[in-house]
Every structure is written in structure tokens, then in C-alpha cells.
Structure 1
């Protein structure tokens, strides 16, 4: 298990960052390594973002005692897990949950043992997760993508025709503060979250996947009047502080998982930014 620490930043400082500094502060490049559990602990709303590929042996989710000050990972946390690969299982305190591709599992505060396993070691699962602090236990719950209610938005004329699946939210899986879902862009569409927004009451993490090897997304971030971009490739994530926009355009269509945490769980709580006001 490896956990990297990222500290919080502010818009005044960030506008002076060069490319390398932007990437080192916000981009999470190497989440998926076979037989390893990699995590990034961000001081932005105390997000932990991680990925794990179990092959021949199951992999247990364990706390970094030094960084988390906890005896087990969910002692003071909750977690949302989405499988972005072939089938696998997540076992929570002895109860096994089968996750097919794009299925989601929420695990609440106080569960002591979470174990990841692939159905086929030669074609392993790829579990992506986000975790945030929690103050109350909510039941462990699985939602299959086939049972998640789709919301169709956008149009081909603006290159953002897409389907949103909300998994963990006020009208779905209940949680303390974690909100989590997934957006699938239809073929021929490349833009996400444009017109863009900020939400000063919560931060967000984007995880891009389902991209070809030579594909990429130009992820837009920063204060609306001082925008920057970061090149993001397949199965990479990017941290978006509350003051930053979070939008992007790809070289082809793609899928991304979004996770939010902070002051509230209202999905529509956004401060919209008109395109004419971006710089």
C-alpha cells in the first residue's frame, strides 16, 4: 500500500504555477498498478482517492496509521467504489458484493474489513474509489449501472451529448457527505461540464477512463478569470478545489467519475460561469 499526501492550494498562488507544478499539485497519474493499492490523501476536503488491481491474491484496504491516525480505514470514514474493469468482488466484514463493470458500492463508517478480489486473475478488476470523513454509519449498498437512473443531457451540436448516472446522492445511496456518480459521453462528443461552474461549498475529484492509449483530455481548471489546463490521460484523476472550475475537452469521447464532498450534498448547488466570463 502506498499513500501520497497533497496539500491545499489557493487561487492567487496557483495562477503562477508552471506545467510541472500544476501536475504535481492536482493530477493523480499512477493509480493502477497490478497487485498494489495506491492512494492520494488530499487536504482538499480530506479526500482520499485510490485504485487497486488485485490479480492472484485479494488485497485488503488498510489505514495508513501515521497519516490517518486510525486503526482501520473506515474508522472515521466512508467510501465509494466503482469497478472500471472486468468483474470482481468487494468483501465487507464477511459479506461479498459482486461488482461488474461500472457498478458502484458504498461502504459506511465503522466497517472494519474491506477486501478487493478479481473474478479472473488473468483479466483482473480495476477498483477506483473515493473516501471522505464521516460522522454517522449508513448501510453498505450496491447499485448496478443497469439499475441506476440515467439522465440524458447535452446535444451533438455543442459536442456534449452525455448520460449521467448518479450513485451516491440525496435521492440514491445515502452517505454523510460523499456524492459520487459517472458521466458517459456519446461517440462524437468531447466536452464535459461546459458551460462550467464552481461550487465554493465543496470540492471535487474527476477520474477519466475509457480512453484509447493515444487519447487525452485537456482538463480546464483554475479561477474563472485565470484558467489553466492540465493534460489528462486514461485512468488518471485530477483534484478540483472548491474555487476552481472543472471542465474539459478530449480528443475523442470518454467516461469520467465525479466525486464531491464538503458543505452539502445538493447536486445542483453550483455557481455557474458564463463562457463570456472565462479568461
Structure 2
């Protein structure tokens, strides 16, 4: 496509994307320093990217990993378990992908499939769900006790924005591969996902292994705040002191604050019925 055939709207969007990418670059440079620190000190970092479908997890992962040394990080996105894996301890196939010293692993969805997607679509039994919810906190706290840095991120998207992104996937031939059968049911099952999200945050966020909630309806802000959050997890050498690392309180929330907001929203909804 020639530039002179672009509409004004397309040109403005291209300029905005260019500016957004420029704004990320100083923080992406800090991620390289963080990665080098992890490599030098043989640290282990696991980052979980969770959230509803179309919450923007993939694009955030792309921004986080864009300039990293591929020799020392991995993106793990596991599909459905095999018949053999179904007979194993639930966490086993995730453990196989854990980092060794000097490496970081980004999980595009994680063992928390069992906290939300699996029970909603009956991919696990009630007993399996409850067993997971009982076991996951001591499992994660054991990881931390054994010198693994664990960062749990939940990307929260508005229902209307999710619908818009699903429509983009449906009509854009470059995005159609992203549209799944579960996507097509996600809007109608919004309330079920909300309830499971509430239970997950309530029961699996601890002082040692907290959840961080990132509002992701604005993709650029979600990318920037996620990178800042990751940079704040480890005190690495060579940190640029002129950058702003404090979280945007309109984008990043603790699990406790998110639970409080969810309760308030639900109460207002009930009062208006």
C-alpha cells in the first residue's frame, strides 16, 4: 500500500503507534539490563500472563520480549494436555518448562487455566478444581522459598472492548487465526468468568505470591505499566534513575483493591435491578 492511499485516520493511527513504540524503548532497554543481571547472577524468573481472551496478553508479551536475548528467555504457551499428561500430577507439565539459573520464562496462560477456563467449560471436575485451589498457594510459595522470582499478572479488559477485539479478529484476515470456539462463548459467559476471577484472586493472592491487576483496554498503557512492574521486581545493576518507575494507579491494582472494586460494582448492579 502506498502512503498516499492511506486515509487520514490510518495515518493518525500509524503516527500514534510510532510514538507509543518510542515511549516504550527506554523501558525495553532496562529489560535488557534486567535480563543480563539475571544471567550473571543465575537467577530464575517466572512471569505469568493471565486474563480473559482478547485481554491483550500476547501483545504485552511481545513488547516485553521484543529486544531480549532469545538465548536466555522462553515464551511458554501450552496447549491441551496429552492423554499421558492427563495421568500426571497437574503441575508436572508446567514444571518441565521452568527456568534454569540465568533464565526467565514467560507463561502465556499458566497453571491458572484450572482456576478459570477449565471449570467454566467442564474441562476438569469440581474435585480437581478444589484440589488445585488448595494446592496452588503452597506450590507457589515453595517456588519462591527456593529462590525463584514469581510475578503473577492478570490483565483486565472491559466487556465492550473484548467484544470489539473479537470483531476485529472475525473480520481481519491477519487476526482470524486468533478466534477460537471459546472466544465465541466468552461474551455470553462473562459473569461466570467474573465469578471465577473473584475466587482466584481471593484464594490465591498472598503476601509472598501476590496478583498484580493490569487494566488492558488501552494496550499501550498496559504494555508500559507491565514493563515497569517487571523492572520493579528485581534490584538490577545499571538502573536508569531518570526514568519513572512508579505504577499508574489508574492502570495497576493490587488483588485486594480489585476485589473491593468488584464487590462495589456487583452491589451497584444489584441495586439497579
Normalized per residue, which structure has more strand? 1
Q: Which has the higher contact order (CA 8 A, sep 6+)?
A: 2
TM-score (norm 1): 0.29
Normalized per residue, which structure has more helix? 2
TM-score (norm 2): 0.29
Q: Could you say which structure has the larger radius of gyration?
A: 2
